[in-house]
Structure 1
Amino acid sequence: MPPEARRPAAGAAVLRPDVTDAIRDAVLQELAEVGYGRLSIERVARRAGVGKAAVYRRWPSKLPIVLDVVSGLAAQSLPTPDTGSLYGDVRALLDVTAKVLQHPMAAQILPDLLAEAARSPELGQTLQSALREAQHGIVTAMVGRAADRGELAARPDPDVAMDLLAGPLYWRLMLDRTRLPAAYLDRLANAVVAALAAAE
């Protein structure tokens, strides 16, 4: 198709990527500062330095904005560790996960969104995808390689493996909100490996 055929029609809105990125960043900052309940298109637009019309050209209301931002973050999944051993992979994944959960913005946004998800099935479904399904492939590949190396007698259920990997850290950092003691991740990695090895 010739270039002129791909040009937008005269008068059509051109959605500048830099403006879209600024709006997404503003949404994250607003979620961290005031939470989902008080987030508004007006506040997002003001923080992004744009008019409300720029926001509405991209999303019709605040729920689609938040769904888009959360889905975008989910797409930036954690790297799949490949250290050559199950312990090394588990330890590396725990380290990255702990850093993500300890980020000030994540510590403010996640609990609020999870509470809001109880009242919004659509938001809840998106969060489930963002927090669980996005990491499913990583854990499946990790335990699969361990089984191929003979470190595991069988391939554990990836859902159980994900619970073992993420549950303790989420509990301590998001709910209990206590600091990780020295060598905690080492001990947790050993416990996860032992649990995976015992799983049938």
Structure 2
Amino acid sequence: MERKSIDLINRRKPSGAAVMRPELTMALFRAFFEEWANSGYAAVSLERVAARAGAGKAAIYRRWPSKLEFACEAIRSVEVMRLGATDQGSLQADIREYLRATRAVLRHPLVRRIIPDLVAERLRSNELSAMLDGIAQARRQFGHRLLDRAVARNELRADLDRELALDLLFTSLYSRMIVRGKNFTKADLDRLGIALQTAIKTC
């Protein structure tokens, strides 16, 4: 009888606050990004994050053992720097879609404040290096697929300098929107897309 009671206890599902509710997890992610944007990663307070989400600090530590793991999963949850890989039919159209999707990411007010802090934090310590490398790698994989399609269509040489081409795709938007705090109109994107196509063909 005693053994059966123990087995029942072991199989019993957690109740109340012990349940890992997906909606609370998403609320914690939102609160983390808001706190990060306001104070910078180094000064993020998990107590304030929990309070923003309407939870206790224990809700965070049941999910993530450290602030770093919390940050990494939060980034993965929204995949802020990932893009789709839909073939638009031509190099110019693919570049235009890449620019449109990137602009949509960089226009988000929290992203515009978090990305510069990510870069600055990497210069101060190596804690976030793996996260940044993962974001950059995902973007460059998308870029490689874009270039592969253009090579297959005979729009680009197979021996082009891919690293230079991939750098060109992102730097113009980043420089204007993040470094200078300016926006790109749709007309700007069209002109930039034409300029990038010409530049990439010379890489």
Q: For the superposition of Structure 1 and Structure 2, which TM-score range results when normalised by the shorter chain?
A: 0.7 to 0.9
**Offset at residue 72 of structure 1 (A):** 3.0
Unaligned runs of 5+ in 2: 1-8
8 Å CA contact 2:37–2:110 kept in 1: the answer is yes
- How far the C-alpha of 1:178 sits from its partner, in A, is 2.2
- The match for 1:179 is 183
Within-5 A mapping of 1:108-187: 108-130=113-135, 132-154=136-158, 156-180=160-184, 183-187=187-191
- Whether the aligned pair in 2 keeps the contact of 1:23 and 1:48 (CA below 8 Å) is yes
Structure 2 contact 80–105 (Cα < 8 Å) conserved: no
Where does structure 1 lack aligned partners over 5 or more consecutive residues? 1-6
| In 1, Cα distance between equivalents of 2:86 and 2:178 | 24
1:30 counterpart = 2:25: no
Runs of 4+ in 1 over 6 A off after TM superposition: none
The answer to whether structure 1 residue 67 and structure 2 residue 72 are counterparts is yes
Which sits farther off after the overlay, 71-80 or 58-67?
Answer: 71-80
Measured after TM superposition, the shift of residue 177 of structure 1 is 1.6
Aligned-pair distance for 1:44? 0.7
SS at match of 2:50: helix
CA apart distance, 1:154: 1.9
Contact 1:87 1:193 in 2 (8 A): yes
Q: Which residue of 2 aligns with 1:40?
A: 45
Instruction: After TM superposition, give the deviation of residue 61 of structure 1 in Å.
Output: 2.7
Q: How far did residue 64 of structure 1 move?
A: 1.9
Higher deviation after alignment, 109-118 or 153-162 = 153-162
Compute the displacement of 1:49 (Å): 0.9
**Distance apart, 1:163 and its partner CA:** 0.8
Aligned-pair CA distance for 1:157: 4.3
Say yes or no: does 1:196 pair with 2:185: no
Task: Using structure 1 for the length normalisation, give the TM-score.
Answer: 0.85
Number of residue pairs matched by the alignment: 193
Instruction: Provide the rounded CA distance (Å) in 2 between the counterparts of 1:28 and 1:8.
Output: 36
Q: Deviations over 1:73-120 (max 9, x none)?
A: 338721124221100110111111112111111111111122112122
Task: Determine what percentage of the aligned residue pairs are the same residue.
Answer: 40
Asked if structure 1 preserves the Cα contact closer than 8 Å seen for 2:81 and 2:105, the reply is no
CA contact (8 A) 2:82 2:139 kept: yes
- State the Cα distance separating 1:166 from its structure 2 match: 0.5
- Taking the aligned partners of 2:195 and 2:65, their CA distance within structure 1 comes to 47
Higher Rg: 2
2:26 aligns with one of 1, 15, 21: 21
Using the size of structure 2 for normalisation, the TM-score is 0.84
The one-letter code of the counterpart of 2:25 is T
